[in-house]
Amino acid sequence: MAVTVALGTATAGVAGATGDHRPDTRTLQRDADALLKQGAPGVLVELDTPRGDVRVRSGFGDVAAKTPVPWNARFRIGSFTKTYVSATVLQLVGEGKLSLDDSVERWLPGVVAGNGNDGNEITVRHLLQHTSGLHDYVGELTYLFDRDQFVQNRFVSHEAADLVALAMKHPPLFQPGEAGKWEYSNTNFQLAGMVIESVTGRSWQSEVRNRVVRPLGLRDTVLPGTSSAVPGPNAIGYQRFLVDQTRPELDESWTEAIDVTEHDPSWGGAAGDMISSTEDGNRFLRALVSGKVLRPAQLAEMQKTVSTNEGFQGAWPGARYGLGLMWVPNSCGGSWSHGGDIHGFKTRNGVSSDGSRSVVVSINTDSMVPERGTPPPAKDQTVDLIEHALCGTR
């Protein structure tokens, strides 16, 4: 068992352990500090290795009080939720309760229909792989992108079926499984959560909790449903909103940051509403790729990848997508990951293919605007940090 010792100050700190494959704490701290110039109020990073775990932090969890992000902070993980949901679906597949080749219509009759959408043509695999072609409902929730609307509607609750219905107002972007086509859509995982409920007769939250969270001892991981709070300890989640949607590169195009820590996350649901910690995120990732969550056949299915679109390639060059899990090339062979973005919080992570080394990054904003004079990154802001964490010292 790795021993972790806390050191540090209000603005930057390190907690670490030594041993073979010693983590490079100086580089990790430098990379965390660099995220402040890219617009992060505060940063918390945990790197787990076979011989030692290390945590670093930088900036503030509460900007007004100038206090750091708590070492054991909980935070919203956004779309990292998808990996937990996908693992739950694949457990059901391994038990013979459904098949990846089952149509959505079989489990959710009449739900995917209209405007050229056809649940008979979309399989469970298409949902988990983002190859269904379904429109993403999130764009229809305009209050998520406007400060005043968000403040007025932040505690509104949503049902998955209603969110899917928003997507059905639009034609598909492409035919399900069409060669060379891939588009990230939260609608896919709202449907995946609904499939879990249809197969089991229980909520997707209950199934994720009983199949993944409890068996792995993820004590900080919460499935909030419509609850608006982030259980402490936690950093404040800050958000800026675009004023001028056409010129996001200008500082004056963004509002001042507001506290968005509390809001009803049910608009994300099975696509992105969970809460966790860096410790739990690492434990889950390492257990998953080490075969402790899924049977070998289902883990192999999860790790069968397809090419992603230009947007993903721009943020993560060479990225490929499996079933609720992404493969990102790096200098030491590549890593498995799934980030998450939700109001107030940005989560990034990576785990080596053998599960021996993993890193989770939490930033307490999802609207990073670089400091004046700091060029915006050509890739996702955390690519270098994760590369150095997983490959810098072996």
Q: Which residues are catalytically annotated?
A: 79
Q: Which residues contact 210 (CB under 8 A, 6 or more apart)?
A: none
**Separation between Cα atoms, residue 272 and residue 163, nearest integer Å:** 13
CB atoms within 10 A of CB 286: 19
Structure tokens at 164: 């899917």
**Separation between Cα atoms, residue 143 and residue 75, nearest integer Å:** 22
**SS (HEC) of the chain:** CCCCEECCCCCEEEEECCCCCCCCHHHHHHHHHHHHHCCCCEEEEEEECCCCEEEEEEECCECCCCECCCCCCEEECHHHHHHHHHHHHHHHHHCCCCCCCCEHHHHCCCCCEECCEECCCCEHHHHHHCCCCCCCHHHHCHHHHCHHHHHHHCCCCCCHHHHHHHHCCCCCCCCCCCCCCCCCCHHHHHHHHHHHHHHHCCCHHHHHHHHHHCCCCCCCCECCCCCCCCCCCECCCEECCECCCCCCCCHHHECCCEECCCCCHHHCHHHCCCEEEHHHHHHHHHHHHCCCCCCHHHHHHHCCCEECCHHHHHHCCCCEECCCCEEECCCCCCEEECCEEECCEEEEEEEECCCCCEEEEEECECCCCCCCCCCCCCCCCCHHHHHHHHHCCC
